[in-house]
Amino acid sequence: MKYYLIAGEASGDLHGSNLIKALKQQDAEASFRYWGGDLMQQVGGELVKHYRELAFMGFIEVIFNLRTIFNNISFCKKDIEKFNPDVIIFIDYPGFNMRILKWAKQRGFKTHYYISPQIWAWKEGRIKYIKRDVDTMYIILPFEKDFYEKKHNFPVHFVGHPLIDAISNHIQVDPKTFCSENGLDDRPIIALLPGSRKQEISKMLHVMLTVVEDFNNYQFVIAGAPGQDASFYAPFIKKQNVHLLLDKTYDLLSLCNAALVTSGTATLETALFKVPQVVCYKGSRGSYEIAKRIIKLKYISLVNLILDREVVTELIQTEFNPKRLKKELIYILDDYHRAVLFLDYYDLELKLGGKGASEKTAKLIIEAIK
């Protein structure tokens, strides 16, 4: 069968690649065409557009790039018609995917949504379009099931979180060998995960790096985002005691003592590796002021949202400053606080369900379109 997938971010690329692997195992005749990234491309099929060409962060930034966005939407529709897939699989990325979704349903394509848009955070009114246009929804966060089924009477499949599989499949590296090969010494590591988009990375690293000189007993390592070149990070690693690693985020998280993490999927990845973290976020002033008025959530990190309590500290906008960041980093490096956090992380993993999210989703998709 023919599968068309649309992922617009690094996390979607990861989950899309694992879903393609699972579909291949269960459908020997499967062919794929997709919007995604390097990870999806590595497992086969044809990459139409890389998510690097699609990533615009914040309300204001989207407005300035409307022409590009609309051109991409038009191109995507034509490309789908030409490929004529048996099913279109939408992976999160709602701003783009919801527009394609309506069109696809009207054209008679089968529409499956893997990893729900976060309409429980904002734009809850989109539920009427999801109920109208989505044939089947696969959710990965446990609280989403009640949101869809009890609140909105829309049946969904909770398949568990695919990050559990991705992380459990990670091969542990030897610390000494890893440090030697990457120019690191034997001091404990503090990881910096500043996001995936250029403007986001620049904004976050500007503040994250202010604490480096206060923690000389540690070495700081930036986790380079997929799709970003080393040359982009060059201005940030001129600072003494700061290193850069590209495409080695999971290796880094498996070895580090603490992490400063930009809000997003990376907060959950860091938690599943049992790494104490401070969650950080800072957008443009205009985008933040808009978001503050329309997003009705107690927390911004997936860790706190899933456990429904503040487990990891969130530093947002003006709170994300050198003084607070230093204070919170000292806090998570304390042995007692680390031990308490580890217990919370185990609770988190239990709530996320077991392994096999990609395999479950692939099986359900194939059964539905047959």
Q: Do 116 and 174 sit in the same domain of this protein?
A: no
- Whether residues 73 and 196 share a domain: the answer is no
Q: What does the angle CA 211 – CA 214 – CA 216 come to, to the nearest 5 degrees?
A: 115
Q: What pLDDT score does 290 carry?
A: 47
CA 182 to chain centre: 25
- Strand order, beta sheet including 258-262: 242-246, 219-224, 189-193, 258-262, 277-281, 313-316
Containing structural domain, residue 290 = 168-351
Q: Are residues 135 and 190 in the same domain?
A: no
Query: Of 2, 15, 8, whose CA–CA distance to 268 is shortest?
Result: 15
The reply to whether 242 and 346 lie within a common domain is yes
Query: Is residue 252 packed enough to be buried (19+ CB in 10 Å), middle (13-18) or exposed (0-12)?
Result: buried
Residues 311 and 185 grouped into a single domain: yes
Do 140 and 199 fall within a single domain? Answer: no
CA distance 12 to 115: 9
Q: Among residues 40, 104, 45, 93, which one has the least CA distance to residue 69?
A: 93
Q: What is the DSSP string of 192-228?
A: EE--SSHHHHHHHHHHHGGGGGG-TTSEEEEEEPTT-
Residues 187 and 216 in one domain: yes
185, 65: one domain: no
143 and 256 belong to one structural domain: no
Token reading at 56: 């615009």
Sheet strands (E) in 2-158: 2-7, 31-36, 46-50, 87-91, 111-114, 136-139, 157-158
Instruction: Give the pLDDT of the chain (370 residues) as one tens digit per residue.
Output: 999 999 998 889 999 999 999 999 999 999 999 999 999 999 999 999 998 877 555 554 555 566 677 788 999 999 999 999 999 999 999 989 999 999 999 999 999 999 999 899 888 999 999 999 999 999 999 999 999 999 999 999 999 999 998 898 888 899 999 999 999 999 999 999 999 888 889 999 999 999 999 999 999 999 999 778 999 999 999 878 999 999 999 999 999 999 999 998 899 999 999 999 999 998 766 555 545 555 567 888 999 999 999 999 999 999 999 999 999 999 999 999 999 999 999 999 999 988 899 999 999 999 999 8
Token duo for residue 316 = 């947002």
- Asked whether residue 224 falls in the same domain as residue 314, the answer is yes
Q: At 269, which CATH number?
A: 3.40.50.2000
pLDDT of residue 303: 96
Structure token digits, residue 205: 């690293």
Tell me: do 329 and 189 sit in the same domain. Answer: yes
If one counts the domains in the chain, the total is 2
Q: Which residues contact 54 (CB under 8 A, 6 or more apart)?
A: 8, 35, 72, 93, 96
